[in-house]
Structure 1
Amino acid sequence: MNVEKKPLIGAHVSFKKEDQLLGSILDFLKINATSGAFYISNSRAYQKTLVLDQEKLVKAQKIAQENNFSLKNIIVHAPLVGNLANIEKDQKTFSLTKKSYLSDLKLMEKMGLILFNFHPGSAKDKKLGIEKCAEGINYLIDHTENDHTIICIETMMKKGNYIGINFSEIKAIINLIKNQKRVGVIIDTCHIWDAGYDLNDFDFVLNQFEQIIGLKYLKGLHINDSKNILGSNKDRHANIGQGYIGLKNLKKIVFHPKIINLPKALETPYGKDDFKKWRDEIELLLN
């Protein structure tokens, strides 16, 4: 197999305050990753306290370059507490989410990272939730107008009052974005499987994505197996080859010629030795 034809694949590692990007890059290299993901800060908190260490940042960028690891292939995950679709009257959550995401985007720009991934949120009124989510994205783009970051909507499943549970809802959000060059989509394989997209025929699913949203918007993938049957709407990730999606289907997705060059990150359940687990799963997918 030609090296250039190997998929970009990695895992969701940590971004520790003391080591910052340097620690994450070293972790990626430990598992032979060519892409990956992390949270810049606490996934359960809005407030940001991180001050970038310029010396460590330069060292991280140097090591990445020396190892042919492109920072453009890192997917930064937004805090899970955020909800841009919040339509409550007091707007407290909406305001906190905007400030939190904007802080992450500004840090990303300083580090040379591009892909920012977030869950579109939840709202009892789906139409208003979609409009509110788009309003939040437009705010973030307006306040980073000279930056290079791309704000990516993650595919979800029908759980609670989530929005973005199918390609049509994600397209509805994108339609309301003023600068659509700054918006993208991240497919989570567990999420779309649990939402009812049958990954036994990924060509069909990808064609649906292409027809409804457009492949130009697809910026990366979370590669996860699922503990649940198709259409369960439960969102429980399984290790690669140990769920209902299966190794064969996930390998086809990872090697699919239309998306082979897009960054992919494992979000599989943690084990006693995360690095060994991730190395093994990456090797399993690539061979």
Structure 2
Amino acid sequence: MTKHNSPLLGSHMSLSKSTNYLEGVVNETVNQNANTFMIFTGAPQNTKRVPVETFKIAEMNQLIDYHEIDKSKLVVHAPYLINLSNPVNETVWKFSIDFLLEEIKRCEALGIHLLVLHPGAYTKGSLEQGLQQLIKALDLVTDYESPVLIALETMSGKGTEVGGQLDDLAFVLQQVKKPERIGVCLDTCHLHDAGYQIQNWPEFKNNLKQLLPLDKVKVIHLNDSKNVCGAKKDRHENIGYGQIGFDTLVEIVWDEELTTVPKILETPYIDNLSPYKKEIKCLLSRSFNQDLK
């Protein structure tokens, strides 16, 4: 059974027929001693989708009830090919709105109401144009009434990404018509690679609070980084083996101001094997395992 005093901690899980879809996801979550998870509802880089009715939703609901997993803290990640910030290609922008709306409806069918979304890229336009396109698109998307909340992910700042600075997301939250439908997903690797010194977590958190209310943080992607701070590269590393370090990531996991925020591991597989069970054990015990790799 889930430990009620444990942090909300889980991993990105594969949703596939070979592992019984959501039934397998919950069973593996329990095997990892986790109490949340994140999934894609289909391949993140194409539009091919299996009907959600095949995903064993009833079996998932039975299992999460039995294991006392809070369904309101489960997460879906939106496809990567959605680009709401594109100011130069209206066809791509309109497709992105339509595809995001379809993804929101899939979340509704699953009963999972946290949807992480990459803000997109301004491509051949400017950051200012990209932000305005993103705001306009979010306003159109949230005209559709839904319990699904969109959590805009912090990005590493590579290329023309929108969201490489927290100011970008704070500006969007201030400008959208329905801010109650929009939140933020903090990605630790992305923040570090964008230049934020999250190793001083209390100072970073205080600075974050100057930009947006802490209750706007709806999800945390918990990853170490292969890169030095400010590299703008976005290369995830296993917990404790990167430039962020184990102690900082433990501090984030156990932060009492963020106890209601699901923390999701997206670290690399090791020799084609999932590291998540071992990483979760280390984080819950606050003790680094030198034998992880």
TM > 0.5 = yes
In structure 1, the partner of 2:50 is 50
Aligned to 2:261: 262
Give the Cα separation in 2 of the matches to 1:216 and 1:167.
Answer: 15
The 1:170/1:239 distance shift into structure 2, 3 A limit, reads same
Q: For 2:117 and 2:217, how far apart are their aligned partners in 1?
A: 14
Post-superposition, which runs of at least 4 consecutive aligned residues in structure 1 deviate over 6 A?
none
Distance 1:205 1:56 in 2: 41
Could you tell me whether the CA contact under 8 Å between 1:168 and 1:213 is conserved in 2? no
| Cα distance in 1 for residues equivalent to 2:5 and 2:166 | 28
Letter in 2 for 1:230: C
- The separation in 2 between residues aligned to 1:14 and 1:236, in whole angstroms, is 20
Residue of structure 1 in register with 2:154 after alignment: 155
CA apart distance, 1:168: 0.9
1:33-44 aligned at under 5 Å gives the runs 33-44=34-45
Secondary structure at the aligned position of 2:257 is classed as coil
Please report the RMSD computed on the Cα atoms of aligned residues, expressed in angstroms.
1.6
TM-aligned CA distance change 1:214 to 1:22, over 3 Å = same
Q: Which residue of 1 aligns with 2:284?
A: 286
Distance 2:16 2:99 in 1: 18
Cross-structure match for 1:82 = 82
Q: What amino acid is aligned across from residue 148 of structure 1 in structure 2?
A: P
1:110-154 deviation per Cα after TM superposition (whole angstroms, max 9, x unaligned):
1110110011011131111001111121222112x1x21101100
Other-structure match for 2:290: none
Residue number in structure 1 paired with 2:288? none
Aligned to 1:186: 185
For residues 154-173 of structure 1, give each alpha carbon's deviation from its aligned partner in whole angstroms, at most 9, with x where no partner exists. 00122111111111111111
Report % sequence identity: 30
Paired residues for 1:165-184 under 5 Å? 165-184=164-183
Structure 2 distance, partners of 1:281, 1:273, is 15
Aligned length: 280
Decide whether aligned partners of structure 1 residues 212 and 64 sit closer, same or farther in structure 2, where only a CA change above 3 A counts.
Answer: same
Q: Which amino acid aligns with 1:131?
A: Q
Distance in 2 of aligned mates of 1:25 and 1:78: 20
**1:39 is matched by which residue type in structure 2?**
F
Q: 1:192 & 1:227 partners in 2: Cα distance?
A: 13
* Alignment match, 1:29: 30
Q: CA deviation at 1:273?
A: 5.4
| Structure 1 residue 27 displacement after superposition | 2.4
SS of alignment partner, residue 44 of structure 2: coil
Indicate the residue corresponding to 2:140 in structure 1.
139
Distance 2:92 2:155 in 1: 20
Measure how far apart 1:24 and its partner are: 2.0
Match runs of 1:196-211 below 5 Å: 196-211=195-210
TM-score, structure 1 as length reference: 0.93
Contact 1:31–1:279, Cα closer than 8 Å, also in 2: yes
Q: 1 CA distance for matches of 2:4 and 2:64?
A: 18
Report the CA distance shift for 1:70/1:273 in structure 2 as closer, same or farther (over 3 A).
farther
TM-score by length of 2: 0.91
Given that 1:131 and 1:176 are in contact with CA atoms closer than 8 Å, whether structure 2 keeps it comes out as no
Distance 1:132 1:106 in 2: 22
